Amino acid sequence: MFGVVPKSLWEKLYTVEKDNRIVLGLNPVLIRGENRIILVDAGTPESGKNLLNRLAKKGISPAEVSDLVFTHLHYDHCGGAFSLSGDGNIIPLFPNARVHVTRQELEDALNPDERTRHFYRTEIASYISRTGRAVLIEHPTFIEEDVELVPAPGHTLGHLAVWVYRDRQYLIPGDLIPTRHHLNVHYMTGFDENTRQNIQTKKKLLAKAATRPTVIFFYHGTSCISGTVYPDGKHFRIRK
């Protein structure tokens, strides 16, 4: 989760288990629009049932979710939106939802290489590509008047971020900033595809976040899953 950052630094941030493992969260974000119910990311294949239970507690049935937005198609971000039947077929848990993902990301998930094949599930990418419900993003796009999807490459080449503009700005940066510790532009995961691009994109997102009050969501956060970001000299910090 911290790439080339020495363990002597990042072990101060987490309780480190054997084999250098740490506990991470899976935190999809629900956006209630005027005419849509939008879910950004969906957890792992094993967490789909829990996701449905959480939505049910908010009075939302699977059929009511109108849009799925995947920041990228790594299995821990899209897997929870699908299940696998006994004969190996993909079953969508949100049958009426359009799926928003960048064209680049879908192409890469359909054709993973030796490195990326560990993170993608090609059967999910194949299902998305052939159902006719995919909305492929290539440029900044509004899917509601106040919900913007923005290509944000770095973690993957086809990664995207989500901005919501209401009483304040809300930023969902996916795995560009997976935890609050990754507000440090030099803290990146070891599986980012382009670290230089990651830094550039992260700086751009945080510069915009600094222009007005912005709540940022951390998909893999545990003790802190969201907070208001603010500049502190050359760094950015969070008010919970």
User: For the chain, which domains are there?
Assistant: 7-239 (3.60.15.10)
Backbone angles phi, psi at 13, to 5 degrees: -95, -20
Q: Does the pLDDT of residue 152 top 90, yes or no?
A: yes
Q: What are the residues whose beta carbons fall under 8 Å from the beta carbon of 116, sequence distance 6 or more?
A: 108, 156, 193
Residue 169 has pLDDT above 90, yes or no: yes
Task: State pTM to two decimals.
Answer: 0.94
Decide if pLDDT at 240 tops 80.
no
Token pair recorded at residue 132:
């006719």
C-beta contacts of 138-146 below 8 A and 24+ residues apart: 138/102, 138/103, 138/104, 143/36, 143/38, 143/67, 143/69, 143/100, 144/31, 144/33, 144/34, 144/35, 144/36, 144/38, 145/34, 146/33
pLDDT digits over 188-208, tens only? 999 899 999 999 999 999 999
Query: What gap in Å lies between CA 2 and CA 13, rounded to an integer?
Result: 11
Chain segment 26-80, per-residue pLDDT in tens = 999 999 988 899 999 999 999 999 999 999 999 999 999 999 999 999 999 999 9
Half-sphere exposure of 35 (CA within 13 A, CB side): 4
How confident is the model at residue 209, as a pLDDT? 94
User: In this structure, are strands 147-151 and 160-165 parallel, antiparallel, or unpaired?
Assistant: antiparallel
Q: What is the pLDDT of residue 197?
A: 94
Q: How far apart are CA 131 and CA 64, in angstroms?
A: 18
Q: For 109-127, what is the mean pLDDT?
A: 92
Q: Please state the separation of Cα 98 from the chain's center in Å.
A: 17
Average pLDDT over residues 210-219: 94
Q: How confident is the model at residue 135 (pLDDT cuts 50, 70, 90)?
A: very high
Angle between helix 103-110 and 122-130 (nearest 10): 130
Report which DSSP code applies to 120.
B
Confidence label for 102 from pLDDT (cuts 50, 70 and 90): very high
Contact 128, 99 (CB under 8 A): yes
Amino acid letter for position 69: V
Mean pLDDT over residues 206-232, rounded? Answer: 93
Does residue 84 carry a pLDDT above 90? no
Mean pLDDT of 1-30: 92
β-pair partners for 136: 101
Q: Which residue is listed with tokens 């049935």?
A: 61
Q: Residue 32: name the closest of 200, 147, 197 by CA.
A: 147
